[in-house]
Structure 1
Amino acid sequence: MAKQGKRLKAINAGLDAEKAYSLDEAIRLIKANARAKFDETIEIAMNLGIDPRHADQMVRGVVGLPNGTGKTVRVGVFARGAKAEEAKAAGADVVGADDLAALVQEGKIEFERCIATPDMMALVGRLGKVLGPRGLMPNPKLGTVTMDVKGAVTAAKAGQVEFRAEKAGIIHAGIGKASFAEDALMGNARAFIDAIQKAKPTGAKGTYVKKVSISSSMGPGLKVDLQTLAAQA
């Protein structure tokens, strides 16, 4: 077993990895123990009783975190004419059509969120092998294929988070920074959990939410008591 550093030993000494904490207590303890030399991201992970290999059990969507993520998101938009100008005015970092497609094909992807107007999808569709594996392919269900370019860019910049279940049925996301107030982190966590609850697929059987944990970039994770979580909903 790898030796723990002094910092991690000190953190673990005050936390019980086997105990299930209330959501607010878990956030308070994780925030208090995020002592790295940078502003750590506070993360949430949810283990769901689903098998994402089946289409009727996939959980995917977007949620706007009320207090933002604390992260600057670079947004790329595929649009032409007036919609391209609308995207630039809304704060998009990269805007283009064929020229942007050529850059993406070369591997020059300078954005973390990709938005496209519907008329651009024939062009964007040819980039699926590049954008798809990176989770950047625009999707109408996620609001990233839309004529409301301004709204989509504004939402992405304001703290909208995409979520998608991984093979083991786990969903995770950053819900803020250690520098955030506890109330802000709590509000973001609650919004994320509620979004996952509402996204329960028709094919999910039995217990839907099996485990929830809170952690920081460099710290251990703490389990959240599901009973107290249900009581707070």
Structure 2
Amino acid sequence: MREAETPVGGSGAALDRPASLSERLASGLLDLITRDGLRRGDPLPSVKELAARFSVTPPTMREALRRLQATDAVELRHGSGVYVGKGVHRTLMPNPNSTVTDYAALALELVEARLVIEPGIAALAAEHRDEAALERLELALETATRAPDDPRPHLNFHRELAMASGNRMLYEVVDSLLVVRNREQRTLRRMIADRRRDYDEHRAILVAVRAGDAAAAESLTRDHLRQLRYTVAPN
């Protein structure tokens, strides 16, 4: 790979332009991770070694790595090296250059997207749950009762519900939505006035999942998200 920037077309050509060097390097690094079977937390070669492998300078390689770090695909640890990040297999990726500021409007779209996806996920969770999944759902419920500064790991109920479905693709979609739209998620949480009701609705979903009642789990999840949608847009 020669180190030369690919020319970018003029106004209106962004969708048709060739990939930049840093984009091609980022893609090559993801291919390397896949080809070598690396997983989250596994170390990558040093920046210098990666630069030599791709025939670019270390600063150019660092730029590509920073691009991947912005999406959690890799993690740069100061004084330690480069590691595979937690977001390397996500199906949706955040845009680190996003300039969107209307998070309330996006929060409504997020709830509507979840209304389409999550009731069916809850039904699958009721059909495929196991003891480990039920335990994590219980921990996620317990998380909601903690103080925000509690140092213990915080589990998200809806993420764990997707994990309990047994469908990796659905889990990745929910995980990606929660990560990519983290600001909108925070907006939603601030809008929830009745925290006890929110907790009780999650508890009812868990009871249905534990009982293996797919219809109830689906219905309760839909009602829960409809209530959340009403909170965001009462009219």
Shorter-chain TM range is under 0.3
Bigger radius of gyration, 1 or 2?
2
Structure with the largest fraction of helix: 2
Structure ranking higher on relative contact order (CA contacts 8 Å, 6+ apart): 1
- TM-score for the superposition, normalised by structure 2: 0.24
